[in-house]
Structure 1
Amino acid sequence: MDIILVLFGLLFIFLGLIGSFLPVLPGPPLSWIGLLLLHLTKAVPSDPWFLGITFVIAIAVFVLDYLIPIAGTKRFGGSKAGMLGTTLGLIVAIVFPILGFFGIIIWPFVGALIGELINKADEKTAMKAAFGSFIGFLTGTFLKFMVAAIYAGFFFYTLVGNASALFSFDWW
């Protein structure tokens, strides 16, 4: 059973890394599930504090991933209409992943641009706010990838440290 938990944990770690870039997969929470599965094995001692802290971080990064593009729009001079446009663009990208990976980049940018233009901002201000949305997206993606990569490191460090207990077979 431990081998199955480790294999599924490994699958979730890889899905978490991929999910850092794909909008349809929540990267850090998936990586956390991989850590949880590893800690459910008999060979790895369960650490509720470690699992609790990493869970809170995974959820915080998941939430921040949606808030950072909005903050980027605001930071670069966007109005409430631009922030609303960014939010609507993110929702469009998630609900209608027509353009795949590029949709999560394009739609918040387009949403912020349209929101600013509707707000009667000049084209320069609208482009600046849309650029802020793009920078926010890149920041969120980088943050998700870093957390997923750190969780992968924890996974492999724990796996290697407990390999003898995990992969010992009692043939008696």
Structure 2
Amino acid sequence: MEYIAWSLIIVCFIIGFVGLIYPIIPSVIFILGGFLLYGVFFSFAELPWWFWLIELLFVGLLFGADMMANAFGVKKFGGSKAGLWGSTIGLLIGPFVIPFVGIIIGPFIGAFIAELLITRTSIKQAIKIGFGSVIGFLTSVITKGIVQIVMIVIFFFVV
């Protein structure tokens, strides 16, 4: 039974990292799910209150970092709310339309089209904003990946 429990916990952690590539998967929820599975299969007593406090702060940080990095990338390159929404929609749809490459092309195309159609910006400026959305997304992935690794390291340190 112990092998099954650890397998499920590790699968949750892996799905959490897959969520970095496929943003439709709530990655941090799966990481948290791995911690909860540990408590269910083994013992919540081994996970002290400060562990949960730290992990919940990281959860908040991850949700905030995701939104802030994308908004920063679009805004830094002159984008509007339309570009931000287009980037977000492209980020969610891109990986399913064009696997692997869609994760990069989706936000770019989404921001580009939104800026052209809604704000009537120039093609050159729309391309610049599209690149900004990609930079924001990549920054978010790196940041979230590091935070998720720290969360898991703390978990194994406590356990």
Distance 1:32 1:22 in 2: 18
Deviation, structure 1 residue 26 = 2.2
How far off is 1:3 after superposition?
4.9
State how far apart, in whole Å, the 1-side matches of 2:44 and 2:52 are.
16
Residue 25 of structure 1: SS of its match in structure 2? Answer: coil
- Paired position in structure 1 for 2:88: 87
C-alpha separation in 1, matches of 2:130 and 2:123: 10
SS of equivalent residue, structure 2 residue 97: coil
Secondary structure of 2:46 counterpart: coil
**Residues 1:55 and 1:84: Cα distance change in structure 2 (over 3 Å):** same
- In structure 1, the residue matched to 2:120 is 120
Q: Report the counterpart of residue 137 of structure 2 in structure 1.
A: 137
Q: Are the counterparts in 1 of residues 74 and 130 from structure 2 also a CA contact under 8 Å?
A: yes
Work out whether 1:50 is the aligned partner of 2:68. no
For the aligned residue pairs, the C-alpha RMSD in angstroms reads: 2.5
Q: How does 1:41-80 map to 2 (within 5 A)?
A: 41-42=42-43, 45-80=46-81
Q: Structure 2 regions of 5+ residues with no counterpart?
A: none
The corresponding residue for 1:7 is 7
Deviation, structure 1 residue 140: 1.1
Residue in structure 2 matched with residue 98 of structure 1 by the alignment: 97
- Return 5+ residue gaps in structure 1 as ranges: 160-172
Q: Whole-Å Cα distance in 2 between the matches of residues 80 and 10 of structure 1?
A: 38
Write the distance in 1 (CA, Å) between the matches of 2:27 and 2:53. Answer: 17
TM-score (norm 1): 0.75
Residues of 2 paired with 1:43 and 1:122: CA distance? 56
2 CA distance for matches of 1:12 and 1:91? 21
Question: Relative to 1, partners in 2 of residues 1:3 and 1:55: Cα closer, same or farther, differing over 3 Å?
Answer: farther
Bigger mean CA deviation after superposition, 146-155 or 3-12: 3-12
Q: How many equivalent pairs are there?
A: 157
% identity of equivalent residues: 34
**Does the aligned pair in 2 maintain the 1:29–1:62 contact within 8 Å?**
no
SS of aligned partner of 2:78: coil
Report the AA paired with residue 19 of structure 1.
G
Alpha-carbon distance in 2 for matches of 1:152, 1:144:
12
1:136-166 deviations in Å (ceiling 9; x for gaps): 110111122112212232233344xxxxxxx
